[in-house]
Structure 1
């Protein structure tokens, strides 16, 4: 080596050579290790990473969801599969735990998903595991089943029909709305036109069915009061009991009204009648969620308004079956 070369240059050259040599050796070892690696382990590693990515996407961005019932016909059919936008309202930090803030709050007319208020969990650990399995399999596997092997309805998907301070009542199954600040009641179709929104409502019960329902409610009131029931009313009560689909709200209103007429001095009868006529009031920060298939839906009429900050996501896109692929409106 040239004696005139500065010592620092010699040191720099040796350090660089050592670094490059070490780097090359590590690369060679990595290649050799990869050659010896088990193919099965490669697949397992790839699957774990893919599952991890799917889990992250499902938890924080988009979640696959299977429609469990026909409560949203015609908008969504039973067994339709959709993607739910979870980022828009704020995802949960962990399944079933702390909810992060979102970009917007749920508004009227949106199809939303939320936890069933009547659902009873099996413990935090099981709930987290169930939701992880459900998300990782894109809703194909649900380990949360009842004794008959049917999935339990942990989540519900409904339309947000009402918001803060709205009032609702039903007349023969038809929804009446009194928006916040209004004194007049509107039919659902009238309110849609005024509010500039549009969605379909499916009715199964026909006007003539309500004659039977009202007679049945009247018969039940006479029956519980120990009074003679008219033959036609008795027939209506038996027919009402055999029907799978019926309007329990109209039945209860007819029973409460008849009971009050029988015992006008009964304070409890008066309170039941007033409650049946009052309908539903939506407090601040809550939403009134209903199924579009109005006569075959367990919804806000049964469990009351849902907290807006507990809405988990907005239905966005139907991806199965292919014949029905498209946006959810």
Structure 2
């Protein structure tokens, strides 16, 4: 093999190799981020004290099956969502936003809250070890117009019973069930409307509908400061992103690294680094 003695050739080849290595590394990192694990930051206190505002965490996107970008196609996962999993998902009312909550009920479950006590399938569910309440109990019968479904007379402390829809369920459609299922039917790709006391799907009257997807019910561990399923409804399976794994960094989000660098660095919560999320 002849060797070139032209000046600049070895350096050019070396630079090209470094550039190719960087491209390969970027591709690998992108694939890893899309399909395996991604970093997220906790912006609010809805999961306190399990997770704190200012926590940075890794989320396992592979466990439930990662989605192919720009599609609703989900690849096979290694596990199903379980009650108690801390999950990250696209907020169904604004899918540009990621939310993190605890899954408290899965498809087919019936849940109820009575004086703050959550029960699933008539079995009491303990508050997570770091969960909390911040305000007084709202008595049963005092409805909250912000609560899902509208006109239900539920509130955050006394809720249900309500069944979480499961793929294949046949649900009844009428004026009474309209607030409960209208968004679900619409989100599954149908034009749905209530005309008088009749429900119309894609222009035809309908008294029932077969559910096409599995759904979940999510709540924050900070039960009095969480915009969760009690307020916006069922979580569609297609919006799942992954399961929260571990906190790798944490500091006070209210301090600026630019205006108060010393205070910001002093606020690092070293004890939370490496903390597994349960």
**TM-score under structure 2 normalisation?**
0.62
Aligned to 1:98: 73
Please point out which of 135, 144, 164 is paired with 1:205: 135
Aligned to 1:289: 218
Please point out which of 74, 92, 116 is paired with 2:91: 116
Q: Distance in 2 between matches of 1:28 and 1:297?
A: 68
Structure 1 residues without counterparts, runs of 5 or longer: 1-23, 122-153, 180-184, 193-197, 215-248, 255-270
Aligned to 1:328: 277
| Conserved? CA contact 2:47–2:220, under 8 Å | yes
Task: Output the aligned Cα RMSD.
Answer: 3.4
| Conserved? CA contact 1:253–1:277, under 8 Å | no
Counterparts of 1:57-96 in structure 2, within 5 Å, are: 57-94=32-69
Q: Distance in 2 between matches of 1:55 and 1:250?
A: 51
Aligned to 2:234: 305
Structure 2 residues without counterparts, runs of 5 or longer: 146-150, 167-213, 251-269
Q: Distance in 1 between matches of 2:6 and 2:231?
A: 62
Q: Distance in 1 between matches of 2:55 and 2:23?
A: 28
Q: Distance in 2 between matches of 1:57 and 1:77?
A: 26
Please point out which of 173, 188, 191 is paired with 2:125: 188
Q: Distance in 1 between matches of 2:19 and 2:235?
A: 42
Q: CA 1:120 to 1:61, structure 2 compared with 1: closer, same or farther past 3 Å?
A: closer
Q: Distance in 1 between matches of 2:14 and 2:120?
A: 68
| Conserved? CA contact 1:289–1:306, under 8 Å | yes
Q: CA 1:34 to 1:87, structure 2 compared with 1: closer, same or farther past 3 Å?
A: farther
Task: Tell me the matched-pair count.
Answer: 205
Aligned to 2:262: none
Q: Distance in 1 between matches of 2:7 and 2:246?
A: 44
Deviation at 1:63, TM superposition (A): 0.6
SS in 2 for 1:69: coil
Q: Distance in 2 between matches of 1:81 and 1:89?
A: 21
Aligned to 2:207: none
Q: Point out the structure with the larger strand share.
A: 2
1:301-322 CA-partner distances (Å, limit 9, x unpaired): 1121212353221111110024
1:117-152 CA-partner distances (Å, limit 9, x unpaired): 01055xxxxxxxxxxxxxxxxxxxxxxxxxxxxxxx
Q: Distance in 2 between matches of 1:253 and 1:97?
A: 34
Deviation at 1:79, TM superposition (A): 1.8
SS in 1 for 2:40: strand
Aligned to 1:252: 143
Please point out which of 104, 113, 133 is paired with 1:161: 104
Deviation at 1:96, TM superposition (A): 5.6
Q: Distance in 1 between matches of 2:224 and 2:246?
A: 25
